A = this chain, B = another copy of it.
Amino acid sequence: MDDQDRTPGAGPTRRKALGFGAGVAGMAAVSAGAAKAAPASAAKVDVVVVGAGFAGLTAARGLRAAGHSVAVLEADDRVGGRTKPGKIAGEVVDLGGQWVGPSQTRLLALAKEYGVATYQQFTTGRNIADLAGHRAEYEGEVPALDPAAMAEFGEVVGKLEALAASLPVPRPWQSPAAAALDEQTIETWIQANAATAAVRSALRMIVRAVLSAEASQVSMLCFAAYAAAAGGFSPLISTRGGAQDSLFEGGVWQLAAKMSADLGPAVTLGAPVTAIAQDAAGVTVQTPRGAWRARYVVVTAPPPLAARIVYDPPMPAARDGLTQRLPMGCVIKAHIAYARPFWREQGLTGLVLSDATEFGPWFDHSPPLGSAGALVGFFDGGPAQRWADRPAEERRAQVLKDVARYLGEAALHPTDYLEEVWTRAPLHRGGYVASAGPGVLTAFGPALLDPVGRIHWAGTETAEAWVGYIDGAIRSGERVAKEVSARF
């Protein structure tokens, strides 16, 4: 098929490819754009990929494997997106995404391809739960609540599993149940479905830990769909067998670095995309480091950041409206190094789930070899929002105070401390994932996936499985590479 046939508006099949956002006005604007010449100096490739996170790097690999030339433009001075390397007490750690679970098969396949080994999250011993004033130690995956609340917790988890199982992914808005789920917050659902303070508090904490957002802020449809994309609610929250099952020796970030090394000079760092113009023949992608010209462009930035690119013609109302309504979660990640994993000596795993702290949950993150100890944990949702703009030393003091409350005074004497304030990072403005308030997915959901002319969308928010995780980012990159390849 030649380019002429690919011009938006050439026929009914094109209307479909343009997506639900692009009507006559959109097409007229695309035609008008055709008159504009691309800059003579623009570098020319088949496809430009915006963003060198796992989605963008995977898309570029897929497109190259299909015989297309690519340029990956990354705003930051490193690849990896919402994964990032750090070093604490001599150990390489992940300042962003880090875990992998057994059903995250695309991430596991990537690690296998590059020969990066995994090891299981430490779970030997007793966890601590402190929810709604009831403090207890427990083993395994189900947090200890006030005994009177345990039965209800089981029932509510059952309801969540049934909801998740009922939703089609990646288009949950197509479910007959979607409207009723989408008109309420998770908090409203919790209040209607959980009577005990302990179960309510546990659910709020789980939402915070899973979505980096408050139960009051997110649509129940979004939450149920998020669980659906993970294969259920339990895989989301479980360590063993779930999303927190294992870690990568040397950190997950190295996989992004290895993909980037394979792509070589196709990856340009320090090139924030400021504008994307499309015309009848292709796209022109502007950065302060020059312009790129391509047949198609894949944008992997999450919706609220993709909104900050200037598009010519402007985005259809559906797509722009979506990007106004999918805020990033709020998250700060902190690593704390100790001379030894002193909690293990008390028979504790180090895992603490508490609704009485600002920081948390946190996990044992001691290096797999050696005698040193380490914890890793989060300020998520409301606490992240409250702490992001405060001085680093105040955050550190709060982290140590919160950890000491459960693991003892030894927690006050770390050998090192390292944090990443994703919510304030100018190129990220949050993490782990963008999520939708009520009424958004049912009204604007299709714009998450529908291409706009020559612009295709990827990123973990668009994944058909494991939305919000590295595995989802990889899946979205694979999907978009096929989608774009099919247009050549």
> A: which residues have CB within 8 A of B?
20-26, 179, 182-185, 187-188, 213-218, 304, 307-308, 310, 314, 316-318, 320-321, 324-325, 327-328, 330, 382, 385, 388-392, 421, 423-424, 426, 429-430, 437-440, 442-444
User: Which 3 pairs between the two chains have the least Cβ-Cβ distance?
Assistant: A437-B437, A217-B439, A317-B388
Contact B185 A184 (CB under 8 A): yes
Chain B residues positioned under 8 Å from A23 (CB to CB): 389-391
Contact B385 A318 (CB under 8 A): yes
Given contacts A23-B389, A391-B24, A438-B438, contact A321 B317 (CB under 8 A): no
Contact A317 B437 (CB under 8 A): no
In chain B, what residue has the closest Cβ to A438?
B185
Instruction: For A443, give its contact among B26, B317, B385 (CB under 8 Å).
Output: B385
A165 to B444, CA, bound (A): 34
Contact B318 A388 (CB under 8 A): yes
Chain B residues positioned under 8 Å from A217 (CB to CB): 325, 437-440, 443
Q: Looking at chain A's contact residues, is the secondary structure mostly helix, strand, loop, or mixed?
A: loop
Given contacts A389-B318, A424-B314, contact A327 B324 (CB under 8 A): yes
Instruction: For A392, give its contact among B24, B216, B325 (CB under 8 Å).
Output: B24
A180 to B385, CA, bound (A): 19
A390 to B391, CA, bound (A): 49
A130 to B78, CA, bound (A): 59
Contact A216 B317 (CB under 8 A): no
A307 to B328, CA, bound (A): 13
A17 to chain B, nearest CB (A): 15
Chain B residues positioned under 8 Å from A320 (CB to CB): 424, 429
In chain B, what residue has the closest Cβ to A182?
B216
Contact A391 B325 (CB under 8 A): no
Contact A314 B426 (CB under 8 A): yes
Given contacts A184-B185, A187-B183, A324-B328, contact A389 B443 (CB under 8 A): no
Which of A382, A391, A392 has its CB near the most chain B CB atoms (within 10 A)? A391
A317 to B183, CA, bound (A): 28
Further contacts, 8 of them, CB under 8 A, given A184-B188, A324-B430: A183-B187, A217-B325, A308-B308, A317-B385, A320-B424, A325-B437, A382-B443, A438-B438
Given contacts A25-B392, A385-B321, contact A316 B424 (CB under 8 A): yes
Instruction: For A321, give its contact among B26, B314, B316, B423 (CB under 8 Å).
Output: B423
Given contacts A217-B437, A324-B430, A437-B437, contact A316 B184 (CB under 8 A): no
Chain B residues positioned under 8 Å from A215 (CB to CB): 183
A389 to chain B, nearest CB (A): 4
Chain B residues positioned under 8 Å from A24 (CB to CB): 390-392
Given contacts A330-B317, A389-B23, A424-B316, contact A443 B214 (CB under 8 A): yes
> Can you list 6 A-B contacts (CB < 8 A)?
A214-B439, A214-B443, A216-B438, A217-B439, A321-B327, A438-B438
A216 to B385, CA, bound (A): 24
In chain B, what residue has the closest Cβ to A192?
B188
Which of A21, A184, A215, A444 has its CB near the most chain B CB atoms (within 10 A)? A184
A214 to B183, CA, bound (A): 9
A444 to chain B, nearest CB (A): 7
A328 to B382, CA, bound (A): 23
